[in-house]
A and B are shown apart, each in its own frame.
Chain A
Amino acid sequence: MTAETSITFPWLSLLLWLPLLGTLLCLLWRKSAAACRYLALGTTLLVLLVSVGLAVSLETGAGGWLLFEDYRWIDAYGIRYTLGMDGISLLLILLTAFLQVIAVLISWDMRKHPALFFALVLVLETGIIGVFLALDLVLFYLFWELMLIPMFFLIGVWGHERRVYAAVKFFLFTLSGSLLLLLAIISLYLLHGEQTGVYTFALAALKQTELNFTQEMIFYLCFMAAFVVKVPLFPFHTWLPDAHTEAPAAGSVDLAGLLLKTGVYGMIRFAFPLFPLAAEKSLPVLAALALIGLFYAAWIAYLQFDIKRIVAYSSVSHLGFVILGLAAWNQTAWEGSVLLMISHGVTTGALFVMIAMIRQRTATREVDKLGGLWQSQPNLSAFFLLFCFASLGLPGLANFAGEILILIGVFSSQPLWGAIAVGGILFAAAYMLRLLQEVIWGPCCEPFDKSDLCRREWLILIPLALLVIWLGCYPQPALDVMRAPIQLLLQGGMP
């Protein structure tokens, strides 16, 4: 089902290259900060519009590729420009497009090199969308690395006090994972070529490569090295708290909301389908690491003093839940995992947005210096309360739906894992309530800026809040979109 769909309008390429076009325009008008702002906002809005339009107009219930593009690119090495979008990528692209608008809006007052900043944010968007769309391994790797560079600069240039340390740590961690991935991609390509005589990087073809178990395991581990660092799974997570803490607001939003998801996406799109036997063998290990990370990160979060670090560790904990769901390897748990990825993107993104707003008013992120915000900023605090409770898994708000599906799925195949994982919900409450306690309750800390939400901030927070409630009360549309693709992936088939 490739040829006939590729003739129609290249919507995927449009989605993919629009942000890069925005980057170029930003750099052209780099003299005027206002022009760059509006250009960035316009571009991200346009991407959002296109992706929402696609979501509405496509037959999303089907299992195959909703859209597919396949062009010749570098014939000599069998590299093709292959893009494909199924339900899972659609959801993740919607999330990306949405969060990028938020990221641009939250950086509206960026003073330091605004043109460059917005240009990098837009490059990042292309990288992320590319990862979610690419079906040729070289193309995928290209976008995979493309995400790394703008993020490195976003942290390193626009970050806070220890930004260089954090940026380098982030870069080295992810790069060492990706190099193994590159190695594995090339070896797999050569092996496949030797076997069949056809040298290609296409995912669908490489899936047919015959591997003995040792080879499969080695390849699998190399692939997973890249993904596991990105997720990040315990014990490869220590770059995340530093990167989050030092990144500017938009960077944190993108990091938590999107970059972490590319790791999970890589697993379910590439690592598992390419090496099913090795994946099957690794599931207990994966589950064990996920469970450890789930608790371990929650415990550490409980003691942090920097509110960004609390949320960063909570991300590690939630992603532990996601990976646990994948390790359960059944429909319900996978649907829960993908749903939790989306919900986590929205809630954690929202929390980082709010932290930026709080920091703007109090000039601090230390819990000791905060407190009693409700007194001067009731609206801001109310939103903060909502997002914190969404993050700790209050039923009816975003994260709960994903978590309970994961728990149900995990419990039905591995009751013990499920029963242990339930405990994670308790510790999520422990650190989140401590965060609330230190920030919005208690005696007032006298913020120097006592203003409550301004119009732009309302504009950011209301969509986030609505989405959080919608995902919690009626996640059915999202579940319907991901159902068929997950079924296919679990059966080992490709769309």
Chain B
Amino acid sequence: MTLLLALIPILPLFGGLVNACFGSRLPRPLSALIACGAVLGSFLATLGCWPGAAGEGLKTTLFTWLQSGSFSAEVGLLFDPLAAIMALMVTGVASLIHLYAAGYMEDDSDQARFFALLNLFVFAMLTIVLADNLLLMFLGWEGVGFCSYGLIGFWYRKTENAVAGRKAFIVTRIGDLFFTVGLLWLFARFGTIGIEAINSRAAELDPTTLTLISLLLLGGACGKSAQLPLMSWLPDAMAGPTPVSALIHAATMVTAGVYLLCRMFPLVSLSPLAMGVIACVGVLTAFYAATCALAQREIKRVLAYSTMSQVGYMFLAVGLDSVSAAMFHLLTHAFFKALLFMGAGCLIQLAGHENDIFQMGGMRRRSQTVFWLFLAGLLCLAGAPLTGGFFSKDLILATAFAKGDPFHLGIYGLGVLTAGITSLYSFRLAYLLFAGDFRGEELPHELPKLMIWPLPLLALLGLSGGLLNLPHLFGGRSWLSGWLERENDLLQIPLQSEYLLLGVAAAVFLLGWLVAHFRYRRFAERETEVCKQFFLTGWQCDAFFDRLLIRPFRKLCYFCWQGGDLGLIDGLVEGFARACLQWGHAIRFLADGRISRYLQGFAWGLLLIVGWFLLQAVR
């Protein structure tokens, strides 16, 4: 079974390499086929390994990557319940998205590059999921960053796309710095970077170090998961092809931060302060992104901000001490958000490559199928009762409520408010897309069949996602909590409160719907300008960072270059050279070739020497 386990990441790696090296020489369908086959094989391998995951899990070490002194990093895989469920989700969703991409990229001339990067991404993501030590995880961590960079800027001819890719890489790398320092510090303290070893010995650390390391890991997680304050790259990342947005910037990579925190949970959870900060970051990002989503005009940007917001909920869940709630929401979100993005891809195609929702409208008439599928996704996102999103979000909010203290009640309040906004923007999107008549001029493009097929499956998974962790109230057994061995995540609150919380959740959903219904049922472009601009630009964050960081940084660089290198150092060097030259010029008259001057010099010199000897003799 260990061989099967190794196959999980190796198959996509192999597929990616084949496409990267020979892709342009392969016949077109073959390159898509290899990519899809590799990921599907990896999914089957994950299924095959599944029975081994329970309890201690499967382990295998392939080879030693780096070993020096007491430091040693193996390429070792760990397949425990947490990794197993994540790997299953990643390979499953990735398989569907690969199929979709085969349809989506049918006419693109650079198909091989696309599939190579997409397969390599799956490999890197699986490395994060399955790594048994932090350095290998970091390899995957940076690997997904690279693939994300390459895929956001996939259509590189437009400079904005390439710039968006660069921004994504650099902003996430700021987070990676924190991760790296955390990794170095953990090694310095424990003498190992094995995840299990660190987790089991976490209690040995003193509280301050523990808190600081946890916060460093949080910093890494924030970068990858687009949480405050490292969030500004995600909306721009929508420049990439839609399957990329679905796979990388919705279902998998952006949840890597949550996964990291869950993976290191025994360590992180020991620090109450860090947990509080995680919860705050989560809920604030959730709120921030939801408000931004309210004002967006591009369909994919709405979804991007909603992703950020939902990932915020997951962070909140981690901060509330509930790994199973975080993973529950991660899974349901992966299903419905992948569905939404792929649906959006279909809609953009149907609208003739129009992605401004103000120019769309009446899309229902262009395809009933896509309408119902997209609506299913939106219902999950908005938290319509009994959908997957409803249960997972409710579990998080109820956990916050169950803590009972003012801090957590405040978080609960903000979380509920955000849920209301989520419902509002979801239905705003629905009405702007589907109500009324089409407002643009473009004619629909044909939709390849492959782009529809994966959607119903995801819709089914999204709608019924609640079954994964159905609470006792609905006759479920909370399977996920049991699988993750996190039984104490289960709610310990009276039945009435539980009903009350469900009621509140349903009420905010309805409220959001109603507001959207009256506001957006008929299209009218009447939004308050200031507010719109503020939310549209994500609270002006880009301008803020530009002024606060980028411009001073460029000034600093310029100063070092012109002032330091050319001015000071080269100035000194060349000044010295010039001084030599001038000195040479100054004494050149001594050797100007006139005999009289030479004789004069000779006479003076002789006088000096003779005088010196005379002086000596007199003494």
Query: Chain A's nearest CB lies how many Å from the CB of B554?
Result: 7
Does B483 count as interface, using CB distance less than 8 angstroms?
no
> Contacts of A395 on B, CB cut-off 8 Å?
135, 138-139, 142-143
A442 and B159 form a contact (CB under 8 A): yes
On whether A476 and B64 interact (CB within 8 A), knowing A303-B557, A429-B170, A437-B163, the answer reads yes
On whether A425 and B173 interact (CB within 8 A), knowing A374-B156, A396-B143, A441-B153, the answer reads yes
Does B507 count as interface, using CB distance less than 8 angstroms?
no
A479 and B188 form a contact (CB under 8 A): no
B166 and A411 form a contact (CB under 8 A): no
> Contacts of B188 on A, CB cut-off 8 Å?
411-412, 415
What 1/0 flags go to A407-440 for Cβ under 8 Å of B? Answer: 1110110010011001101100110011011001
A331 and B68 form a contact (CB under 8 A): yes
Interface centre among A375, A404, A423 (most CB of B within 10 A): A404
Q: Which A431-461 residues sit within 8 Å CB-CB of chain B?
A: 433-434, 436-437, 440-444
A238 and B557 form a contact (CB under 8 A): no
> Contacts of A483 on B, CB cut-off 8 Å?
68
Give Cα A422 to B24, complex, Å: 38
On whether A479 and B66 interact (CB within 8 A), knowing A300-B565, A372-B157, A426-B177, the answer reads yes
> Contacts of B159 on A, CB cut-off 8 Å?
441-443
Instruction: Tell me the dominant secondary structure on chain A's binding face.
Output: helix
Does A82 count as interface, using CB distance less than 8 angstroms?
no
Give Cα A443 to B135, complex, Å: 37
On whether A411 and B68 interact (CB within 8 A), knowing A238-B569, A395-B142, A395-B143, the answer reads no
Q: Which B55-72 residues sit within 8 Å CB-CB of chain A?
A: 63-71
> Contacts of A412 on B, CB cut-off 8 Å?
187-188
> Contacts of B184 on A, CB cut-off 8 Å?
407-408, 411, 415, 418-419, 422
Query: Chain A's nearest CB lies how many Å from the CB of B211?
Result: 16
Query: Chain B's nearest CB lies how many Å from the CB of A128?
Result: 26
B162 and A442 form a contact (CB under 8 A): yes
Q: Which B455-490 residues sit within 8 Å CB-CB of chain A?
A: none
On whether A408 and B71 interact (CB within 8 A), knowing A238-B565, A303-B561, the answer reads yes
Q: Which residue of A lies closest to B75 (CB)?
A: A473
Q: Which B201-248 residues sit within 8 Å CB-CB of chain A?
A: none
Query: Chain B's nearest CB lies how many Å from the CB of A251?
Result: 21
Give Cα A374 to B565, complex, Å: 33
What 1/0 flags go to A301-324 for Cβ under 8 Å of B? Answer: 011100000000000000000000
> Contacts of B30 on A, CB cut-off 8 Å?
none
Q: Which B564-593 residues sit within 8 Å CB-CB of chain A?
A: 564-565, 569-570, 573, 577
Give Cα A393 to B177, complex, Å: 12
> Contacts of A389 on B, CB cut-off 8 Å?
146
Does B539 count as interface, using CB distance less than 8 angstroms?
no
Query: Chain B's nearest CB lies how many Å from the CB of A239?
Result: 8
Does A290 count as interface, using CB distance less than 8 angstroms?
no
A440 and B66 form a contact (CB under 8 A): no
Q: Which B178-192 residues sit within 8 Å CB-CB of chain A?
A: 180-181, 184-185, 187-188
Give Cα A378 to B565, complex, Å: 36
Query: Chain A's nearest CB lies how many Å from the CB of B146?
Result: 6
On whether A303 and B554 interact (CB within 8 A), knowing A426-B173, A442-B157, the answer reads yes
Does B504 count as interface, using CB distance less than 8 angstroms?
no
Q: Which B533-574 residues sit within 8 Å CB-CB of chain A?
A: 553-554, 556-558, 560-561, 564-565, 569-570, 573
Give Cα A429 to B168, complex, Å: 11
Does A485 count as interface, using CB distance less than 8 angstroms?
no
A415 and B185 form a contact (CB under 8 A): yes
6 examples of A-B residue contacts, CB within 8 angstroms: A238-B570, A303-B561, A389-B146, A408-B187, A415-B184, A419-B184
In order of increasing CB-CB distance, the 8 nearest A-B pairs are A441-B162, A395-B139, A441-B156, A411-B184, A299-B557, A332-B69, A331-B69, A300-B561
Q: A299-B556, A415-B188, A475-B66 are in contact. List 17 more A-B contacts (CB 8 A).
A: A238-B569, A296-B560, A299-B560, A330-B69, A335-B68, A389-B146, A394-B146, A404-B135, A408-B187, A411-B185, A415-B185, A441-B153, A442-B157, A442-B159, A442-B162, A444-B157, A476-B67
